[in-house]
Each structure stands twice: as structure tokens, then as C-alpha cells.
Amino acid sequence: MKDPTYGHPLLADRVAVVTGGGGGIGAATSRLFAEHGARVIIADIDADLAGQTAEAIGHAAVAVVTDVRDAAQVRALAHTVLDGYGRVDVLVNNVGHWLRHPGDFADTDPELWDELYRVNLHHVLLATHAFLPAMIDRHAGAIVNVSSVEGLRGYPEDPVYAAFKAAVIHFTRSLAVQVGHHGVRVNAIAPDVTESLQVPYSQWLSDDEQTQWPQWVPVGRMGVPLDQARAILFLACDLSAFVTGHTIATDGGTGAAGGWFRSSRRPDREWTNRPIAP
């Protein structure tokens, strides 16, 4: 079904690369971009997931299996796109993951820091570095980075993850200022409480917790991937032509309402942002 939000295609004939575009928020973004006229390159490490999403979209999408943590593979992706299409108009750096709960920072393994860095920040630098010169050459382009609400607030469960997500936000802000005169815009979103591959709330929450969304989130419901995709579409298209260097908190109002709090009812975890009494 076509997205009814807008009356006309917003990305007609544009070439868009979506990293992690095979599932969750990335897949919703890939589908929405295609519905709005874009030719979408789905870059994903999961060949099956990327292929299924591309097949569901049809001729407007192609899957390119890529581990965006690997510089050589990112360069190969850029060559594939630029050789095949001659340009790139939109880059969505969507890949990211909290990987696992590490416990207190004092007890963490520095190898985990490196893993978190590579999947949450390094790939943003690699992909942007690979595609930005082509945008500068054409004096046109939009980059949208996917950070997290945890990059905007204190995240006691994993300060290292939070630091990298905050770095994505500041990279977004700083690069936008640097390349604005080249006709390239750089923005980001910071999701929260949204169903995704990494955060499957529909599986995590009990029946009782599911009834508490109105108390937990100001808008009264869980976010879905399409909510995030619509914000990404806005930042990728000309509706946001005068917007750059900003991060939109796509969180249903949770950032405005509060954040993490200590829990006395969860013996396995000291902190919660779940819809239960503390």
C-alpha cells in the first residue's frame, strides 16, 4: 500500500543508499523511498534479508551485500553505486547495534568498545567518506544518520554505546557546517521506543506491560519502523531543504517526558526505561 502521507513523490529519480536496509527501520526506509520514486540500493550484511526486501520492492531496489564495518567493502559499494548510476543523491547511515548488555563500565572488556565503535560510529565515517565526494562534485546531496535517544541523554546501562551515538550526532552537526556550501545537507534522527530488529518490544514486553504504553510514551503507543522512515524521508527530500546539522528526536515524546530510572522490581537489571513501576 502506498504511503498516504504525501500527495506526490518526494524522491523522484533520486539514487539512495540505505545501509542496513534489509530489515527493521532500514527496510521501512527502503520501501518508503521507493514509493517516493527513488532507486534504492540496499546495503546489508544479511544477504537473505536484503534480497527479500529488494524483491518485495521490485525493480526500484537492488541488494548489495556489504559489511559496512569493512573499509574495502564500503569502497566497493561506492564503486558499484557510482559506476551503475553515475551519482548518489541520498545516503542513510542506518546501521547500529547495542550488541549486548555489558554490565558496569569498570568491568567491561576493551574489545567490546571496539565492536561498539565499529558498528555505531566507524561505519558512519566510512560510508560518508566513500560517498561524500560524489555529492560535492554534483553540489547536491543529503546524508541522514541514525543515532539514538541514548546519544542525547545519560544511558547508565552502557556509557560506551551512548558515547558513540553522541559522537554520531556531533559528527552530523560538524560535517553539516563544513559541507553546507557544497550543497550537501547532513542531519540525523535519534529513535526511542520503536520496534526494530535489535529492540523487538512486541516480544520483550509482557501482556501487562503492553497495556502501559499510554503511561510510558506521551503519544500513547510504541513506535514502528515507518515512524522513523517518515522522518528520514523528510530529511532526505526537499521539504527539509533549509535544514542541516540537526538531530530529530524521533521518540514519541519520551525525551521530553524523562528517561531512565532505577528499578527495584528487576533483579537482573538495575535500570529500566520499561513501562513498569520502579
> Tens-digit pLDDT profile for the chain (278 aa)?
555 556 789 999 999 999 999 999 999 999 999 999 999 999 999 999 999 999 999 999 999 999 999 999 999 999 999 999 999 999 999 999 988 877 899 999 999 999 999 999 999 999 999 999 999 999 999 999 999 999 999 998 899 999 999 999 999 999 999 999 999 999 999 999 898 877 778 888 888 888 888 777 888 899 999 999 999 999 999 999 999 999 999 999 888 876 665 666 667 777 676 656 54
pLDDT for res 217: 83
- In a domain, residue 2? The reply is no
Give backbone dihedrals phi and psi of 140, rounded to 5 degrees, phi first.
Answer: -165, 140
Please calculate the CA angle 221-32-211 and round it to the nearest 5 degrees.
10
3-state secondary structure 38-75: CEEEEEECCHHHHHHHHHHHCCCEEEEECCCCCHHHHH
Angle formed by the axes of helices 123-138 and 71-85, nearest 10°: 30
Phi-psi region at 98: left, alpha or beta (left = phi > 0; alpha = psi -120 to 50): alpha
**SS3 at position 107:** helix
- In a domain, residue 81? The reply is yes
Beta-sheet pairing, 90-93 with 15-19: parallel
Which residue type, as a one-letter code, is found at position 155? Y
pLDDT for res 278: 47
209: enclosing H helix or E strand: helix 207-210
Give backbone dihedrals phi and psi of 261, rounded to 5 degrees, phi first.
Answer: -145, 160
pLDDT for res 265: 67
Query: Three cell numbers at 91?
Result: 545516503
- In a domain, residue 274? The reply is no
| Per-position DSSP letters for 162-196, written without gaps between them | HHHHHHHHHHHHHHHHHHGGGTEEEEEE---SB--
pLDDT for res 260: 61
Active site residues: 161
- In a domain, residue 182? The reply is yes
- In a domain, residue 267? The reply is no
pLDDT for res 6: 60
pTM, 2 dp: 0.91
Which residue type, as a one-letter code, is found at position 232? I
With cell 545501509, the residue in question is: 19
Query: Three cell numbers at 204?
Result: 520483550
Beta bridge mates, 153 = none
Q: Return d(Cα 92, Cα 141) in angstroms, integer.
A: 11
What's 259's DSSP letter? -
What's 274's DSSP letter? S
Q: How far is CA 271 from CA 97, 116, 148, 205, 276, in A?
A: 19, 20, 18, 16, 11
Q: Return d(Cα 37, Cα 89) in angstroms, integer.
A: 12
Query: Three cell numbers at 17?
Result: 543508499
Domain containing residue 225: 15-206+219-258
CATH number at residue 202: 3.40.50.720
Domains: count for the chain:
1
Query: Three cell numbers at 51?
Result: 534480497
